Amino acid sequence: MRKHLLFYSALLLCTPILGAPQVTPDISGIDGALDQALQGSWRDSVNVARDQYRHPKQTLEFFGLTPNMTVVQLWPGTGWYTQILAPVLRDHGQLIDAAVPAKGDPESDGTVKYLAMLKRNPEIYGKVKVVDFSPPAKTDLGPDGSADMVLTFRNLHNWQSRGQLNKVFQAVFKVLKHGGVLGVVEHRAAPGKSVAQVFKTGYMPVDYVIQEAEKAGFRLVGQSEINANPKDTKDHPRGVWTLPPTYAEGDADHAKYHAIGESDRMTLKFVKP
C-alpha cells in the first residue's frame, strides 16, 4: 500500500492542475536580457522616456530576438535601439549597425552623435560593428545568408522618398539566412491612403509595405498592434514630425501634440523562405 501511495503522490506532483496557467520557461534568456538592457545606466534619460511609445521589449520579443543572433539594424539614427540591442547581443551574438555615412548625406548628423555614443562606452558598444549603408551606392550589409535578423525602425518612408525602397528590401533579403526575420516598425498611414497621398507626411500604407517586401521575396508571418496609437489622427500640418519627439510646429499646439504622443505605427514580421 505504501508503494502505491508514493506512486500516486509522485504522479500528482508531475500532473498539471486543470485550469492553472501554464508558464513556458524562457530558455533563450531574452526576457531577462531585455530587462537588464532597458534598466541599464548607459541609456539616455530622454530615450527611456520614450519607452512608453516604442514598447521596445514587446517589439523585440514579437520579432523573436534571442541573445545569440547576428542582427543587422538599418539606419540606427542616434542609437536609440542600439542602447538596447548592443548589451543584449554583446556576449553571444553580434550587432551590425548599417548607418548613414558620417559625411555626404542629409541624415548624417545623427550618425555623428551615434558614433560619439559608441566611443563613450566601449564596455557596452565595443563589439558593435558599423557599416555604411546609403542606397543605391552602398547596400552591402554583409556576406549573403549571414544574418539571423534585420531590423528597421521608422525608416521606410526615407527610402521610399528617394525611390530606393526596393533596393533596401533586396539588400536585406540577400544578407538574411533562410528562415531569417525582417522586423519592420513604420509610421502607419490611414486606411485607403495611397503612397502618393502620403508621400511627404512620413506615413506609409501598410498594404504597400507588405507588397514591396513580398516583391523582394519575403513572406509576411505576423502583424502586431504593439506600437499602435489610436489618438494619432494622421492629418498634422507637418506629418509625423508634428508629433513628439520632433514637434516641428514648435510651441504651436504643443500641448495638443504632446497629448497625442508619438505616431501610430505598424509592426510587421517577415521571413526569408
Q: Domain with 179 in it: what CATH number?
A: 3.40.50.150
The answer to whether the beta carbons of residues 227 and 267 sit under 8 Å apart is yes
Tell whether 74 is covered by a domain. yes
Q: Are strands 94-99 and 70-74 parallel, antiparallel or unpaired?
A: parallel
In a domain, 255, yes or no: no
So what's the pLDDT on residue 158?
95
Report pLDDT for 105: 64
Task: Report yes or no on 125 lying in a domain.
Answer: yes
- Supply the range of the domain harboring residue 70: 30-229+263-271
CA-CA distance, 82 to 124, in Å (whole number)? 10
pLDDT at 103: 72
- The whole-angstrom separation of Cα 271 and Cα 149 is 9
Alpha carbon distance 62, 184 (integer Å) = 11
The three grid cell numbers given for residue 163, joined into one nine-digit string: 525611390
At a CB cut-off of 8 Å and minimum separation 6, what does 244 contact? 53, 257, 258, 261, 262
Domain annotation covers residue 16? no
**Residue 9: inside a domain, yes or no?**
no
Asked if residue 234 is part of any domain, the answer here is no
Contacts of 154 (CB under 8 A, 6+ apart): 185, 186, 187, 265
Is 5 part of a structural domain of the chain?
A: no
Tens-binned pLDDT, residue by residue, of the chain (273 aa): 444 444 434 444 444 444 444 445 676 789 999 999 999 999 999 999 999 999 999 999 999 999 999 999 999 999 999 999 999 999 999 999 999 987 766 666 789 999 999 999 999 999 999 999 999 999 999 999 999 999 999 999 999 999 999 999 999 999 999 999 999 999 999 999 999 999 999 999 999 999 999 999 999 999 999 999 999 999 999 999 999 999 999 999 999 999 999 999 999 999 999
- The number of folded domains in the chain is 1
Cα distance between residue 76 and residue 154, in whole Å: 10
Pairing of strands 94-99, 147-153: unpaired
Q: Is residue 145 part of a domain?
A: yes
* pTM value > 0.95: no
Residue 267 backbone dihedrals phi, psi, to 5 degrees: -130, 110
